[in-house]
Amino acid sequence: MKDPYFYPNTNVHVNIPGIQDKQLLKTYTANQFGLAMLNLQKDKFLIKSAFDFLKLHKILFSNVFFWAGEIRTVNMTTSEFMIAEGMVEFADHKSIHKELEQVDIKYKNLAWSTMSKREFIDNLSKYMVDLWVIHPLREGNTRTLIVFMDLFASQYGYDVDINRFNTSSHDMRNTFVWGAIGEFFNLKDILNKILNKKSQN
């Protein structure tokens, strides 16, 4: 079946500037992502719902993809060498809206502000993996999820140690894969290193 998100006979996502070279698109996307992050730092974006994942994606990729922030219309799987079955199957595109609602039911009313750091990381790890397994967008899910985590943790009194985060970020996607099969140790370990409670002045 033809994937409408790619230019015909290529592995390049259809994009606003019409770039059909994968490396050039990667560079363009990184630049636009960086500019969007600067704007996010100026404008206080609050995470109130799992559906804010879509809003955040739109902000981050609005100059790259026509469909930024829109639920994907195709199904997706990903091949992962680290798990025996080799494949992670993401949510059926027709059920994504319902699954995001279920995530809100599960996490929205938790007492995030009164949790210990350990409890916060335990719950945040599961929250992130649940969103990653849904994979609501056709592209940019992991990058959006990392920003989502950063903003969410900040709302509840945590700083993200950027220096540690930069050294760990290439491993983050792998931790989501492990989380998808119920192994959260690596993700919790990274979060424990990069999240620090803000000092109360």
What domains can be seen in the chain, in order of their start residue? 71-197 (1.10.3290.10)
What is the pLDDT, as a whole number, of residue 56? 96
List C-alpha distances in Å: 6 to 3, 27, 61: 6, 17, 16
> 3-class SS at 76?
coil
What's the distance, CA 165 to chain centroid?
15
pLDDT in tens, 7-55: 999 999 999 999 999 999 999 999 999 999 988 888 889 999 999 999 9
pLDDT for res 60: 96
Residue-averaged pLDDT of the chain: 90
Q: What are the structure tokens assigned to 59, written together?
A: 């902000």
Cβ-contact 16, 64 below 8 angstroms: yes
pTM over 0.85: yes
Residues of the chain with pLDDT > 70: what percent? 90
27 C-beta neighbours (distance < 10 Å), count: 12
Average pLDDT over residues 69-79: 89
Q: What pLDDT is stored for residue 10 in this prediction?
A: 93
Question: 6 has which bridge partners?
Answer: 13
Give which of 160, 146, 134 is closest to 76, Cα–Cα: 134
Phi-psi map region of 170: left, alpha, beta (phi>0 left; psi -120 to 50 alpha): alpha
Q: Taking residues 85-101, what's their average pLDDT? A: 89
Check residue 169 and give its pLDDT: 57
pLDDT in tens, 113-134: 999 999 999 999 999 999 999 9
